Amino acid sequence: MEDVQEIIEEPIQFSKGINLRELLTSDTEFQIDLDFKQKKSLDPNLNDELFQLYDEEEESSDCEDILKTIEDSAEKQMLSSPEYLSFKELSAKMTDCVASGDCKILIIEEGDGPLVPVDAEVTIHYAAYWEKEKIPFDSTLTMNFGAPMKLRLGCGKILPGLELALSTVRGPTARLHALVAPSLAWGPMGVPPRIRPETALFVIALYKVTDRRAPDTFNDLPMEEQKKYEVTIRTVNSLHAEAKDLFRKKKYRPAMKNYQQAMSVLNISRPETEIEEAEIKRLRINTYVNLAMCYCKLNKPNYAISMLENLEYVTDTDKHCKALFYYGKAYQMLGNNEEALKYYRKSLKLEPKNKDIGKTLAELDEYIKRSAAKEKELWQNAFESEPAKKESVYDVDEDFQNGVRDMCQDLAGRHEYVKFDLPLGLTKDEVGCIRSMITEFKGLTLVEDGEGKRKKVSIIRKLL
**pLDDT (average), residues 256-283:** 93
pLDDT score recorded for residue 209: 87
pLDDT score recorded for residue 426: 80
pLDDT score recorded for residue 67: 61
Q: What kind of architecture, by CATH, is found in domain 216-379?
A: Alpha Horseshoe (1.25)
320 pLDDT higher than 50: yes
pLDDT score recorded for residue 383: 62
Q: Which CATH class is domain 68-210?
A: alpha beta
pLDDT score recorded for residue 328: 92
Q: CA 443, CA 413: separation in Å to the nearest integer?
A: 10
317 pLDDT higher than 80: yes
18 pLDDT higher than 90: no
Q: Which of 11-25, 183-197, 312-326, 360-374 has the lowest mean pLDDT?
A: 11-25
pLDDT score recorded for residue 128: 92
Q: CA 188, CA 141: separation in Å to the nearest integer?
A: 26
pLDDT score recorded for residue 155: 85
**pLDDT (average), residues 292-299:** 94
Q: Would you call 386 exposed, middle or buried from its count of C-beta atoms within 10 A (0-12, 13-18, 19+)? A: exposed
Q: Which of 38-52, 67-81, 373-387, 423-437 has the lowest mean pLDDT?
A: 38-52
27 pLDDT higher than 70: no
DSSP H/E element including 202: strand 200-210
pLDDT score recorded for residue 71: 66
DSSP H/E element including 233: helix 229-248
CATH code of 398-461, in short, is 3.30.1370.50
Mean predicted lDDT score pLDDT of the chain: 80
**pLDDT (average), residues 450-463:** 76
Write down the domain spans for the chain.
2-26+32-42, 68-210, 216-379, 398-461
Residue 116: CB partners within 8 Å, gap ≥ 6?
A: 122, 153, 166, 167, 168, 169, 170, 171, 206, 209
Q: CA 461, CA 444: separation in Å to the nearest integer?
A: 5
**Would you say 283 and 262 are in contact if contact means Cβ atoms under 8 Å apart?**
yes
Higher pLDDT, 386 or 423: 423
327 pLDDT higher than 90: yes
**pLDDT (average), residues 79-96:** 84
Q: pLDDT (tens digit, 9 = 90+) per residue, 107-156? A: 999 888 788 888 888 999 999 999 988 888 998 888 888 889 989 888 88
pLDDT score recorded for residue 135: 86
pLDDT band with cut points at 50, 70 and 90 for residue 203: very high
463 pLDDT higher than 60: yes
Angle between helix 274-297 and helix 229-248 axes, rounded to 10 deg: 20
Residue 384: HSE in the Cβ half-sphere, 13 Å Cα cutoff: 0
DSSP strand E in 253-362: where?
none
373 pLDDT higher than 90: no
**H-only helix segments in 16-116:** 20-25, 56-76, 87-91
The phi, psi pair for 451, rounded to 5°, reads -135, 160
CA distances from 344 to 204, 292, 378, 389 (A): 45, 15, 29, 35
68 pLDDT higher than 50: yes
419 pLDDT higher than 50: yes
pLDDT band with cut points at 50, 70 and 90 for residue 420: confident
49 pLDDT higher than 70: no
46 pLDDT higher than 50: no
Q: What is the DSSP letter of 385?
A: -
Report the percent of the chain where pLDDT is more than 90: 36
Q: CA 143, CA 126: separation in Å to the nearest integer?
A: 11
340 pLDDT higher than 70: yes
CA distances from 6 to 37, 41, 128 (A): 11, 18, 44
Q: Which candidate, 4, 137, 134, places its Cα nearest to that of 82?
A: 134
Residue 405: CB partners within 8 Å, gap ≥ 6?
A: 437
**pLDDT (average), residues 67-82:** 70
**H-only helix segments in 337-444:** 337-350, 355-382, 398-412, 428-437
pLDDT band with cut points at 50, 70 and 90 for residue 15: very low
pLDDT score recorded for residue 281: 94
Q: CA 211, CA 231: separation in Å to the nearest integer?
A: 11
Higher pLDDT, 355 or 50: 355
pLDDT score recorded for residue 65: 63
**Would you say 273 and 234 are in contact if contact means Cβ atoms under 8 Å apart?**
no
Q: What is the DSSP letter of 191?
A: B
pLDDT score recorded for residue 2: 47
pTM above 0.85, yes or no: no
pLDDT score recorded for residue 31: 53
Q: Would you call 22 exposed, middle or buried from its count of C-beta atoms within 10 A (0-12, 13-18, 19+)? A: exposed
**Would you say 184 and 102 are in contact if contact means Cβ atoms under 8 Å apart?**
yes
Angle between helix 355-382 and helix 337-350 axes, rounded to 10 deg: 160
Q: Decide: helix, strand or coil at residue 261.
A: helix
pLDDT score recorded for residue 382: 64
**Would you say 441 and 408 are in contact if contact means Cβ atoms under 8 Å apart?**
yes
pLDDT score recorded for residue 180: 95
Q: pLDDT (tens digit, 9 = 90+) per residue, 342-372? A: 998 899 889 888 888 888 888 887 877 777 6
Q: pLDDT (tens digit, 9 = 90+) per residue, 171-200? A: 888 999 999 999 999 999 988 888 999 999
